[in-house]
Amino acid sequence: MSDHHQLQRRTDAEGFENPGLEPHRPRLSDRDPAAAKRVELQVVALFGVSVLASIVGVAGFFLFPAGVSLGTLRVGNTVLGVGLGLGFLGIGLGAIHWAKALMNTTEQVEERHPLRSDPATRAAAVAALEAGLDDTRIARRPLLKGALASALVFAPLPVLVPLVGNLTPDWDISRFARTAWRNKPEGAPGRRLATDPDDVPIRAADVTNGSVFHVIPHRLGELEGEEEFLNEKAKAVVLLVRMDPSEMTISPGREDWSYHGIIAFSKVCTHVGCPVALYEQNTKHLLCPCHQSTFDLANEARVIFGPANRPLPQLPISVDDEGYLIATSDFTEPVGPSYWERLK
């Protein structure tokens, strides 16, 4: 081992300057071999618990097969999870106990060789750099130097400008709430709700209790170009359901947003925008298939499970003189993912 690269073992007693750590105090296990043996057995016991727990976990997987019933699936998963957890816990506790009670806690210092090169090597490096610089003739050609500097300054701009531009706060969140529902025929009380893709307006009388409709805004013909409509359609799509009004919780200000138990919510998941579509009639829960966010439609689509962190926006609806369902206004809050909430 070289002078510069030696592993030194020092103790406080030998003059090692402790950088603020607790000085090593001899433990019972350092002084008493019987105590050390006891600690060893404790560590072995912890590792043994880990082994046993892992075996029980694996046994649970076979003893309670997933395909038999929901009950066995639950028990099997629980045993597997507990076994796995205790298995790792035993290893962790055993390792910590081992390290704290048996391992050597003496400070060890490894001295490194100096990072600085010797003078001859450094002089040779500087000479090589200077020769290279001289080779470029840059010192004698200021025009070239200026052109190079300009090119280096301008080259990153195509990356930096859009980057900085996109980072500039654009907190007009209300634009996410502007959908095709805001457009309506001249003089009409609202825009009709229609089936997709047939574009057939929906009468309130046709929506029976428990039914679910995938709904889009009824086309406005000349009033709204085809391209504009297609661009807006995905954002405006809603899910229409009907339930017993007595089962619904309605907050103040939303009393006239539904019609005899018919309610409409945005179909765009507020997590990352997948279409929520799996409706369970009994529970009134709506599930997003992407990451299992679950919304309670009887309770204004509040999130009851999953990663979404706000309810699905509700579309205020009513009926017109002919009994067709209409949206009385656009959404009053942004539809779709709520990433902007984290940026606020």
Give the whole-angstrom CA distance, residue 184 versus residue 188: 7
Which parts of the chain fold into alpha helices (H)? 28-31, 33-63, 70-101, 119-136, 142-154, 157-167, 226-236, 339-343
| Touching ligand FES, residues 279-298 (CB under 6 A) | 288, 290-291, 293
With CA atoms as reference, report the closest residue to 291 among 310, 276, 311.
276
- Which span sits near ligand FES by CB under 6 A: 27-35, 200-208, 255-263, 306-314? 306-314
Burial of 266 (0-12, 13-18, 19+ CB in 10 A): buried
Contact 77/92 with Cβ under 8 angstroms? no
Please report how close the Cβ of residue 265 comes to ligand FES at its closest, in angstroms.
13
From 308, 317, 319, 325, residue interacting with ligand FES (rule: CB under 6 A): 308
* Stretch binding ligand FES (CB under 6 A), from 204-212, 226-234, 305-313, 324-332: 305-313
Least distance from C-beta 194 to ligand FES, angstroms? 25
Applying CB under 6 A, among 73, 86, 274, 277 the residue interacting with ligand FES is 274
- Residues 228, 238: Cα–Cα separation, whole Å: 18
Sheet with 212-217: strands ordered across: 314-315, 262-266, 238-242, 212-217, 191-195, 325-327, 317-319
- List 72, 306, 320, 333, residue binding ligand FES (CB under 6 A): 306
Residue 288 or 335 with smaller CB distance to ligand FES: 288
Task: Tell me: does residue 307 bind ligand FES (CB under 6 A).
Answer: yes
Minimum gap (Å) between residue 77 Cβ and ligand FES: 22
User: Is 261 or 307 the residue whose CB approaches ligand FES more closely?
Assistant: 307
Q: Per 3-state DSSP, what percentage of the chain is helix, strand, and coil (rounded to 5)?
A: 45, 15, 40
Q: Strands of 294-296's sheet, edge to edge? A: 278-280, 285-287, 294-296, 302-305
* Shortest Cβ 82–ligand FES spacing (Å): 28
Out of 39, 75, 272, 304, the residue judged to bind ligand FES by CB under 6 A:
272
Look up residue 275 and give its DSSP letter: B
Q: Which of 192, 235, 271, 284 binds ligand FES (CB under 6 A)?
A: 271
Give min distance, CB of 243 to ligand FES, in A: 22
Q: Is 173 in the site for ligand FES (CB under 6 A)?
A: no
* Residue 275 lies near ligand FES (rule: CB under 6 A): no
What is the rounded CA–CA span in Å between residue 195 and residue 203? 11
Shorter beta-carbon distance to ligand FES: residue 269 or 319? 269
Cα-based distances in Å from 217 to 10, 213, 328: 80, 13, 12
Q: With beta carbons less than 8 A apart as the criterion, state whether 283 and 234 touch.
A: no
- Identity of the amino acid at 143: L
Which listed range, 76-84, 144-152, 187-195, 266-274, lies at the site for ligand FES (CB under 6 A)? 266-274
> Residue 86 or 272: which CB sits closer to ligand FES?
272
Interface ranges with ligand FES (CB under 6 A): 269, 271-274, 288, 290-291, 293, 306-308
